C-alpha cells in the first residue's frame, strides 16, 4: 500500500485567549492520497480554515501554535522544519486559494505580475519566461483574451475572474496539494459551478490532490471523494462522500445534509422536509471539554453525552463517527 501524500495525526492547535488557552483543533487525524480530493465541511468556527493554516504553517504569530501531533507531507515532518523550508514548500508544493481574492490579490500590481512573482520565486524563471507562463496560466483557467488581460489590475476583473486568477497563482508551480478555502464565497451560482468544473478539470490534468474547505454540502457532493465533518475543532465524522450522505452516522452530519434537499433527492426518490440545526457552535472556551460538544443541539442527547467525550466508532469502507449513538443515527 502506498504511503499517503499527507498524513495528519492527533493534531492539536491552540490559540491564546484573554482567559486562557483554547484547543481550536482537538486531536484531528486524517490522510490524503496523491491525486485524491477530500472536503472539510462544517459551520463557521468549527476549525476548517485553522486546519488549513496549520498545514501551511500560517498560524497567527504569538497567538496560535501546534501543541501536539504531526503533519507529514511526502515523508517530511512539517511541524519541525525550519521557516525557510516552509517558505520553499508554500506556494510551490502545497498551495492555497483563500476565501476572498480582493483581500489576497495586491491592488497595485497587475495580475500578470503577481503570477510571475510566484514563478520567479519558486521556479527561478526569467522575467520574460515568467510573464509568458502567466499568460498560459490565465488561458488555462479560462480567462478570455489572456494575452491582454494579463496586464489588468484586480479591480478591472469580475469576482469570478479574480478567483480564477487566484487558482492560476495557486497552480503556477504545479503543487502536489491544493487547499481551496471556500473558493466560491460571494460568487453567484452559475460562477460557482464554473469554478468547481475548472478545479475538477485541472485536477484530472495535473494529478494535484485537493483539500476543499466549505460549509456547503452541495459543494462536497460536487468536488470530493471523501469528506471530514468538523464540529467545535473535532472530527465528528469522516469517510466516502456518497456513503456518508446516504447514511450519516452523526446527528450533526445528518442535520447538515437535511438542509440541502437536492442532495437527498439525488440519492433516493423520497422528498425530505427541510430542517435546521438549532443553536450555534459553542464558544472557544468550551472547546476541548471532556464531553460531546454537540450535545446542547442534539435531539439524541443522553447523560453519557454530557459526561464523556464520545469515542470514534468505525464502520465499513472507512466511515468513522465520534458519537455515542452512531449505531442509532
pLDDT tens string 261-317: 665 454 455 556 677 898 999 999 999 999 999 999 999 999 999 999 999 999 988
pLDDT averaged over every residue in the chain: 92
Report which secondary-structure segment, H or E, holds 237.
strand 234-240
pTM of the model: 0.91
pLDDT tens string 220-237: 988 899 999 999 999 999
pLDDT of residue 215: 86
What mean pLDDT comes out for the span 35-41?
96
pLDDT of residue 270: 59
| Rounded Cα gap, residues 92 and 114, in angstroms | 14
pLDDT of residue 122: 94
pLDDT of residue 263: 58
pLDDT of residue 137: 95
pLDDT of residue 272: 60
Domain boundaries, the chain: 6-93+173-321
Q: Which ranges in the chain belong to alpha helices (H)?
A: 48-56, 83-89, 101-104, 111-123, 127-140, 146-149, 159-171, 189-206, 217-223, 241-246, 251-258, 261-267, 303-307
pLDDT of residue 1: 58
pLDDT, greater one: 250 or 196: 250
What mean pLDDT comes out for the span 80-100?
93
Among 42-56, 70-84, 163-177, 257-271, the range scoring the smallest mean pLDDT is 257-271
pLDDT of residue 149: 97
pLDDT of residue 188: 83
pLDDT of residue 123: 92
CATH number among 3.40.30.160, 3.40.50.300, 3.40.50.1470, 1.20.1300.10, domain 6-93+173-321: 3.40.50.300
| Rounded Cα gap, residues 324 and 3, in angstroms | 31
Sheet with 313-314, strands from edge to edge, namely 94-97, 177-181, 209-214, 37-41, 226-231, 234-240, 320-321, 313-314
Q: What percent of the chain has pLDDT over 90?
A: 77
Residue 283, classed as helix, strand or coil, is coil
Given a cut of 90, is residue 66 above it in pLDDT?
yes
Amino acid at each position: 500500500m502506498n504511503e499517503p501524500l499527507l498524513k495528519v495525526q492527533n493534531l492539536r492547535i491552540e490559540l491564546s485567549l484573554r482567559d486562557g488557552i483554547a484547543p481550536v483543533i482537538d486531536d484531528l487525524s486524517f490522510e490524503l492520497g496523491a491525486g485524491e480530493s477530500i472536503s472539510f465541511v462544517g459551520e463557521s468556527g468549527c476549525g476548517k480554515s485553522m486546519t488549513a493554516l496549520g498545514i501551511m504553517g500560517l498560524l497567527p504569530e504569538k497567538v496560535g501554535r501546534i501543541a501536539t501531533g504531526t503533519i507529514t507531507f511526502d515523508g517530511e515532518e512539517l511541524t519541525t522544519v525550519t521557516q525557510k523550508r516552509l517558505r520553499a514548500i508554500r506556494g510551490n508544493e502545497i498551495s492555497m486559494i483563500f476565501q476572498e481574492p480582493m483581500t489576497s490579490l495586491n491592488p497595485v500590481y497587475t495580475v500578470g505580475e503577481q503570477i510571475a512573482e510566484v514563478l520567479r520565486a519558486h521556479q527561478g524563471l526569467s522575467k520574460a519566461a515568467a510573464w509568458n507562463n502567466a499568460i498560459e496560466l490565465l488561458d488555462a483557467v479560462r480567462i478570455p483574451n489572456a494575452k491582454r488581460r494579463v496586464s489588468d489590475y484586480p479591480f478591472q476583473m469580475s469576482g469570478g475572474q479574480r478567483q480564477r486568477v487566484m487558482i492560476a497563482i495557486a497552480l503556477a508551480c504545479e503543487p502536489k496539494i491544493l487547499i481551496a478555502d471556500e473558493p466560491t464565497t460571494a460568487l453567484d451560482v452559475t460562477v460557482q459551478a464554473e469554478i468547481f468544473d475548472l478545479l475538477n478539470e485541472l485536477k484530472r490534468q495535473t494529478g494535484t490532490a485537493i483539500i476543499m474547505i466549505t460549509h456547503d454540502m452541495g459543494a462536497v457532493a460536487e468536488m470530493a471523494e471523501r469528506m471530514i465533518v468538523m464540529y467545535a475543532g473535532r472530527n465528528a465524522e469522516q469517510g466516502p462522500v456518497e456513503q456518508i450522505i446516504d447514511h450519516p452516522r452523526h446527528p450533526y452530519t445528518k442535520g447538515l445534509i437535511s438542509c440541502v434537499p437536492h442532495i437527498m433527492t439525488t440519492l433516493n426518490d423520497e422528498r425530505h422536509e427541510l430542517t435546521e440545526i438549532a443553536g450555534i457552535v459553542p464558544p472557544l472556551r468550551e472547546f476541548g471539554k471532556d464531553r460531546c460538544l454537540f450535545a446542547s443541539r442534539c435531539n439524541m442527547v443522553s447523560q453519557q453525552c454530557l459526561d464523556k467525550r464520545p469515542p470514534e466508532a468505525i464502520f465499513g469502507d472507512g466511515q468513522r463517527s465520534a458519537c455515542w449513538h452512531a449505531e442509532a443515527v
